[in-house]
Structure 1
Amino acid sequence: MGSKKTRAAVSAVTYILISILAVICVFPFFWMLISALKPKDEIRSAVPSLLIDNPTIDNFRRVLVDNGFLTYIKNSFVVSLAATLISMIIAVLAGYALSRYYRKRIVKASNFMMMLSQMIPGVLLLVPLYMIMQQMHMLETHISLVLAYTTFVIPLCTFMMSSFFDTVPIDLEEAAEIDGCSKAKTLIRVILPVSIPSLISTGLYAFINAWNEFMFGYVLISSDKLRTLTPAIMLFKGANLVDWGGLMAASVISVLPVTIIFLFLQKYFLAGLMSGSVKG
């Protein structure tokens, strides 16, 4: 009887702590949304309120129409999709090599170098990368962002794909090779079709990483015509004044596409992570 009460008490405390943590995590997004729907006088009120007396979508109208954020959204989609596509192609090939040829020295060396690269903060490479892009005349181009995002996301994407390929039975490949399939055909026709959850989870990670990136987009691009969404949010912060309504509306818009994509693909995302977490 005592053990049941103890378990019940532990469960209650656990649920309470989880609920508190969930509120702490969700509250900033909730505050961002209600602030985006408030008129300017309510945002600047001396006493902040969770209630909206006069809700308005004027902040969203100003962001999308007056400030040309549709261009920034388009640029972010172009850069993020390009970086995701290139990253996935490289990650699939490299991940397959790490999984199936892990005994070879060059594969072991590549694995070690990729792990080592994850210990280097991206900010340390900002100046060298800027100088390289300048020498190659790639500043103020989307190509510079695609290369930067792809470079930094490939190692983890490769490890994610390698972990999943480790769970795919080698018998499938041997059966395909007996039927006359080459390594390339085996990978495309046999391995990839059973890797859909892992492909989606890895691709989603690469896309979100590129979509949310700020530092390289802010430094490598200064043209309004080429600017991506995340650095564009800084336009609402002036030297002496901050347009909080526009800032919050722009933040909501930047979060919305990723949220919608994740809601539709979350079951594949979780399945991909779980399938790659256990080797069998």
Structure 2
Amino acid sequence: MKRKLQAAIILLVFGVLKLPLEQRVTHDLRKMHLVDEPLQLGVGENMGQMGLAATLGGLRGLAASIFQLRAHVAFTNVNWAQVDSYYKLVSRLQPRNARYWEEASWHMAYNAASYYLYNEELKPGLRGQLYHDHVKRGIDILNEGLKFLPDNPRLWQKLGDVHWNRSKDFKASGDAYWNSFQHGGLNFTERFAGFAYAQANDPASWQKGYAILKRLYDQKKATPGLIEFLKMLEHNLHIPAAQRIPDAGPVRNTPDPQAGPQR
């Protein structure tokens, strides 16, 4: 009995001593992106993830592919609720696969939203409501995917695209494009961030847009679109004449009209 107690004490002391070492190793592995950070999800979401993982194990990839095919069948049948439901399963089975989040968002924010927008069998008010609801659903899907893949530049870019093309929230679009660029996105995402900020409604966004576009201009990376938005920002921010760029260009003071029916 005494030997067992001594052994238990030794194991306990050893465990306490090695805990800081394990924590440091885990911290270093997470910094190198070799181990994922623990994701803070709701209780129900965590249980769903754990249940699927425990049930399917190594077959999750195969199951995700099957459900994706089912989603495509639902798409051809124009059953948007089923498309969304199947992609929910797909994304929970393979949450680290950015392509699934992107496809799910595209179906909702573009395909489903456009279907309802141009469905003349529906009343105009309902068409507008369903359009906005499905655009929002597409945005929510990308935001959910970014909880799992916060460093993925393509998901950030797609979020910027949806805000630019659909919700017309140019501040959010600029933030998303800028995050994409900061995480290694394609060079155009930096320029698009500036363009989006230029079309926002608040001076803080204009300042961000001006800083981005003026830097690109000074780096000899100007395009006709960049000059146009930069001239607009100079006007909106009341930049002194001596500090303005010499290029001639149209001044556009208001964003483009919003697409889709207004509520």
Same fold (TM over 0.5): no
TM-score, structure 2 normalization:
0.26
Q: Which has the larger radius of gyration?
A: 2
TM-score, structure 1 normalization:
0.25
Q: Which has the higher contact order (CA 8 A, sep 6+)?
A: 1
